[in-house]
Structure 1
Amino acid sequence: MDTLSKKQQLTRERRKNLELGGGTNEVEKQHRQKKLTARERLAILFDEGTFQEIDLWIRPIQTGFDIDKKDLPGDAVITGFGKINGRIVYAYSHDFTVVGGTMSSGQDHKVTRLMEMAMQASAPYVGLIDSGGVRIHDLFGRSAFRPIQAGRISVGGTTGIFAAPSLASGMIPQISVMLGPCYAGSAYSPTLADFLIMRKNTSFMSVASPELLKTVTFEDVTREAIGGAELHATTTGTADYLAETDADAIQYCRKLLTYLPQNYKETTPLSECTDDSPASREELNRIAGDVSTGSYDMHNVIEQLADNRQFLEVQELFAPGLIIGFIRINGQSIGIVANNPAKNGGLLNINTCDKAARFIRFCDCFNLPIVFLVDTPGFDANSEEERSKDGLIRTAARPIFAVCEATVPMIVIYIGKCYGPARLVMGTPRMGIDMVYSWPTAQVARMDPTEVTNIIYKREIDSSEEPGKVRDEKLGELLQRYIVFPFHGAEQLMVNEIIEPSDTRPIIVNTLKAMINKAPLSSNWKKHSLIPK
């Protein structure tokens, strides 16, 4: 065998050993926990045969501790690029079979370089998270065995796993898929992404581990209680999707990417519209009949508007009084922001406002038109919300700010009620909404008619022996003479046109076509805006 052949053979053998990760025993342990390995996950994420690995051959920094004697293939992370649904995407995948996927200086470099390559290529990146956190040996090893880590530039000349996502924000889509644990500092980077997908029962994320909390506070807590996937999907709002399995989480990620462009300079490619049903949807007329009683599900409205009735919901379990997600209409990817009367009457609160604001800003970053479907009586105003540490008034300002700042095409469809400040959260023409339509079932007014009645007719109501009866009579008079729905909104120029429910889909299509060349109004240059507190 000649020298070249020997080297090729040696390279193949070493590559095969490195690709085994932590070895057969560790792989079996991963499978016993019903978790896939890093490479198995990447095989599901990418189109078959397209993934190209980079930096497989890295060797960890020497620390002076006994861990230096171990082989750590890939420094516990796999990085590379390939195609997802035919488009280039970059990805990194923690290898839990190698010292628990722990983060080291070398791993930091590989992941950061991957993020930087994605930015340079103007392509999205995905992180498959399964890490025990920072590798302590790497932090406290003798300085003679490792480079000085102080300063702004880390090993290899990269920016770092915290700076890179911030630089990429608004430039390229970033998705984190959390399939295992992630604690303390290593948990910050995944949460800097645009979307976070978490798997039930196996993924955990918190600033402090249960062991650390017990040491510091003497409190016994479980991983699930302080950082479980269900907690983050339902209570903190950190998780955008709660997956049942590794495959479920990764398939959701693949589907999500189909609705997104490659970067902020592009739009999402048009998909062929294979929906052969009539352009008008008669089912919407039937749904409209249930609007007055609130006995309908806004999800049904969304699905009727969507191509092939397909809707990809985001943050489904958090603040369910508001629905956000993506659909396609005539092949075009669109963001949906909709009240959900089936949950708490569709009332707005701190969580719904927070949920709406971030999603609106994401859509605006990546050139996705937004359709608002509105049916809310207003805010769930109570002393608990008003006095909350999150602050109702300052949180309510966020979606208002986001709408005013957005430059993408925006359409409002009034379906049911919308009074007072709720109009501002869901968008008005004076705030930059391009077109406002209403169904005949809509009730749009600058104030709730009941509140108007109580103010205008206060004297008559208070002086009556039957105040309830007088209030009802005056309210009926007000609604017959001065605030006649659905015409009041159009008469006051809060609505551009009243439409038949069944015509909603074709009207959205035509309106978006008319706004295809929409350009933002000129404004003075500034470094960036400052979102409300």
Structure 2
Amino acid sequence: MSVMQSNVARDRILSFLDEGSFVELFETVTCRNTDLSLKDYKELSDGVVTGYGLMNGRLVFIYSQNPEVLHGSLGEMHCRKIVELYAQALKMGAPMIALLDSSGLRLQEGVDALTGLGEVLSAVNEASGIIPMYSVIYGNCGGGLSVIPALSDFTYMVEGKGRLFVNSPNTIDANYQEKVDTADGQFKALYSGIVDECLSENEISEKVRTLLSLLPANNTEGIYTETCLDDLNRLVEGMNASNYEATVLLTNISDGYEFVETKSAYAPEMITGFIQLNGMTIGALANRENSERLTVDGLLKGTDFVRFCDAYDIPILVVADTCGFETSMVAEKAIGRSMAAFVSALCEADVPKVTLLPHKAMGSAYLLMNSKAMGADFVYAWPDAEMGILPAKQAVEILYANDNNVSLNDKMADYEQSHNSVEAFAKRAQIDRVIAPESTRKYLVSAFDLLYTKYACVQEKKHNLR
């Protein structure tokens, strides 16, 4: 909308936004510090381009660090521009996109630079849960600056270029970059839970556009819906408990067969992402088939996802297929706390919550995955799903361990019928309806339509402790 001098930071912004929609803010801001080598430094914009524009016609605020100006380093006015931009985004209730490429704090500005970074991190934290935040890492993003992508809701790294770290690989004990590159995008996507994917620049902009089209602009918009062109009663053919696949199921039940998965490389045993049912955006949380056990990382991934959905009034679908917890010495150190955090997130979420039981639902792990007892609004099960405290064989062997006069096979059949069947749970009101697999979509559409006006009266308290 104005004539602007081309530079790498502006070019990156323009690659995201609708043509001609970018309006730059604080364009003439310059560095105030004249210490050391900055005495003759008069670069306009002070190494970061800030402004707003449209993506697919939707308002977004965006800033881009310029690695060509003092290596994108953060000084006082550089940080002031970012802080002011977050304030504007909060006023307008519009998402924020951060394009990060910086060498870190500007040493020539010392205290002012350090203070500025603190103010930026405070602004980012204030925006969390109010407006969706996206981070894209083009180059270096290290030290304190790495908190921004960690606080963001979705983070992408440019493949082969992006670097994310608190401590660089060469400073870590017994490590060096050629051994394990802990700043590499693939490493972060696999192990940190911060990075969604490593992609090309064009692929990242398309991912952000897709998410913007699915998600509300802020936490006051309410449940996000658009016109549905798909058949609401469409059958889901060719799937049952014996050949169930989570991502295939989520794709097949969604409007237009579209499932947008998030953080697919991290803790892949817990699937998170978004579908649409009758035009309504739904957050989907599912156990991957054949994974069987809940893990520390999977529970943490699920916790973050549930809290995001609850913050933005996005209804939640849980597809539960689990029969226990991760068993290892490493897991035992942390799984209790991760279980508590997951339970807390699900129980506190007051959005519509629906659970589907397609395959296995055993023991305490089943309870945690949004069971009726834990607050699910509706629970649906496929007829052949396996349910219970323990598999019947194990239960009978424990119950009749000292009784040699009984037929274990007979007892197993009795136990299966009375405690380990879908019918047993349905009779005790732990399942709202047993449904045919092919009818899954139409029942879920109906459930979320009914829950559109759900009102949850939550007991007032400051916050949970886990």
Question: Which band: TM-score by shorter chain?
Answer: over 0.9
- Following TM superposition, by how much is the alpha carbon of 1:303 offset from its aligned partner in structure 2, in angstroms? 0.5
Tell me by how many angstroms 1:414 deviates: 0.5
Provide the residue aligned with 2:269 in structure 1.
321
Alignment pair present for 1:246 and 2:201? yes
Superposed, which structure 2 residues align to 1:112-261 within 5 Å? 112-139=83-110, 160-210=119-169, 213=171, 220-222=176-178, 225-243=181-199, 245-261=200-216
**AA matched with 2:155:** L
Instruction: State the Cα distance separating 1:149 from its structure 2 match.
Output: 7.4
Q: Does 1:303 align with 2:258?
A: no
CA–CA distance in 2 between the matches of 1:360 and 1:514? 21
The residue that corresponds to 1:487 in the other structure is: 423
Taking a change above 3 Å as real, the CA distance of residues 348 and 165 of structure 1, as seen in their structure-2 partners, is same
1:440 aligns with 2:378: no
Change (3 A) 1:128 1:392: same
Aligned-pair Cα RMSD in Å: 2.4
Q: 1:241 to 1:450 in 2, by over 3 A?
A: farther
Residue aligning to 1:84: 55
| Match runs of 1:256-335 below 5 Å | 256-267=211-222, 269-275=224-230, 277=231, 279-283=233-237, 286-288=238-240, 291-292=241-242, 295-335=243-283
Q: Take 1:448 and 1:351, find their aligned partners in 2: how far apart are those partners?
A: 26
Say which is worse superposed, 230-239 or 376-385, in terms of deviation. 376-385
Q: What is the aligned counterpart of 1:382 among 321, 328, 332?
A: 328
Unaligned runs of 5+ in 1: 1-11, 22-36, 141-147
Q: Following the alignment from structure 2 to structure 1, what is the Cα–Cα distance between the partners of residues 224 and 452?
A: 14
Distance 1:223 1:119 in 2: 43
Tell me the residue number matched to 1:95: 66
In structure 2, how many angstroms separate the alpha carbons of the residues matched to 1:279 and 1:378? 34
Kept in 2: contact 1:183–1:206 (CA 8 A): yes
Corresponding position of 1:358: 304
Q: What SS does the aligned partner of 1:528 have?
A: coil
How far apart in 1 are the matches of 2:458 and 2:270? 32
The alpha carbon displacement at 1:279 in A equals 2.2
The CA deviation at 1:382 is: 3.1
Which residue of structure 1 lines up, in the alignment, with residue 335 of structure 2?
Answer: 392
TM-score by length of 2: 0.93
- Offset of residue 515 of structure 1: 1.4
Letter in 2 for 1:428: S
Could you tell me whether the CA contact under 8 Å between 1:89 and 1:125 is conserved in 2?
Answer: yes
Separation of aligned partners in 2, 1:122 and 1:132:
30
In the alignment, which of 505, 521, 531 is matched to residue 441 of structure 2? Answer: 505
* Residues 381-402 of structure 1, C-alpha deviations (whole Å, 9 max, x = no match): 233321x3xx111111211111
Q: Secondary structure at the match of 2:141?
A: strand
Change (3 A) 1:425 1:199: farther
1-side partners of 2:179 and 2:385: how far apart? Answer: 46
Task: Write the distance in 2 (CA, Å) between the matches of 1:184 and 1:522.
Answer: 39
Deviation at 1:278, TM superposition (A): 6.7
2:163 partner letter:
F
Distance 2:409 2:122 in 1: 60
Partners in 2 of 1:331 and 1:316 — Cα distance? 24
Cα distance in 2, alignment partners of residues 61 and 263 from structure 1: 34
Counterpart of 1:444 in 2: which secondary structure? strand
| Equivalent position of 1:521 in the other structure | 457
CA distance in 1, matches of 2:175, 2:328: 33
**Cα 1:149–1:48 shift into 2, 3 Å:** closer
Write out per-residue CA displacement over residues 119-159 of structure 1, whole angstroms, 9 at most, x where no aligned residue: 1111111101111111111216xxxxxxx679xxx67xx98
Q: Alpha-carbon deviation of 1:444?
A: 2.2
Greater shift in the superposed pair: 321-330 or 39-48: 39-48
| Counterpart amino acid of residue 296 in structure 2 | I
Structure 2 CA distance, aligned partners of 1:409 and 1:262?
A: 19
Q: Is the 8 A contact 1:46 1:82 kept in 2?
A: yes
User: Judging changes above 3 Å, is the alpha-carbon distance between structure 1 residues 300 and 149 closer, same or farther for their aligned structure 2 residues?
Assistant: closer
Question: Which of residues 23, 39, 42 in structure 1 aligns to 2:13?
Answer: 42
Q: Distance in 2 between matches of 1:354 and 1:177?
A: 22
Name the amino acid aligned to 1:209. S
Contact 2:24/2:50 (8 A) holds in 1: yes
CA contact (8 A) 2:388 2:420 kept: no
Closer, same or farther: CA 437–128 of 1 in aligned 2, 3 Å: same
Task: Report the CA distance shift for 1:407/1:218 in structure 2 as closer, same or farther (over 3 A).
Answer: closer
Report the AA paired with residue 444 of structure 2: I
Structure 1 vs Structure 2: percent identity of aligned residues?
Answer: 28
Q: C-alpha displacement at 1:471, in angstroms? A: 5.3
- Name the aligned partner's letter for residue 520 of structure 1: A
Q: CA deviation at 1:198?
A: 1.8
CA distance in 2, matches of 1:67, 1:222: 35
CA distance, structure 2, for counterparts of residue 95 and residue 223 of structure 1: 30
SS state at 1:272 partner: coil
1:444 to 1:68, Cα distance in 2 relative to 1, 3 A: farther
Secondary structure of residue in 2 paired with 1:336: strand
Q: How much has 1:505 moved relative to structure 2? A: 1.1
Whole-angstrom distance in 1 between the partners of 2:423 and 2:134: 44
Q: Extract unaligned runs of 5+ from structure 2.
A: none
Residues 472 and 78 (structure 1), Cα distance of their counterparts in 2 relative to 1, 3 Å cut: farther
Q: Equivalent residues in 2 for 1:413-432 (5 A)?
A: 413-432=356-375
Residue type of the alignment partner of 1:165 = V
Decide which of 371, 386, 403 is 2:346's aligned counterpart: 403
Distance 1:484 1:522, change over 3 A: closer
**1:110/1:497 Cα in 2 relative to 1: closer, same or farther (>3 Å)?**
same
Q: CA deviation at 1:517?
A: 1.4
8 Å contact kept, 2:387–2:420: no
Describe the SS at the equivalent of 1:69: coil
Please state how far the C-alpha of 1:476 moved relative to its aligned partner: 3.7
Larger radius of gyration: 1
The answer to whether the 8 Å contact 1:126/1:175 transfers is: yes
Q: Is the 8 A contact 2:47 2:65 kept in 1?
A: yes
2:125/2:151 contact within 8 Å kept: yes
Aligned mates of 2:451, 2:323 — CA distance in 1 = 30
Instruction: Summarize the Cα distance change of 1:149–1:287 in structure 2 as closer, same or farther, 3 Å threshold.
Output: closer
Quick one: which amino acid aligns to residue 165 of structure 2?
A: S
**Shift in CA distance, 95/447, structure 1 to aligned 2, threshold 3 Å:** same
| Alpha carbons of structure 1 residues 206 and 509: separation in structure 2 relative to 1, 3 Å | same
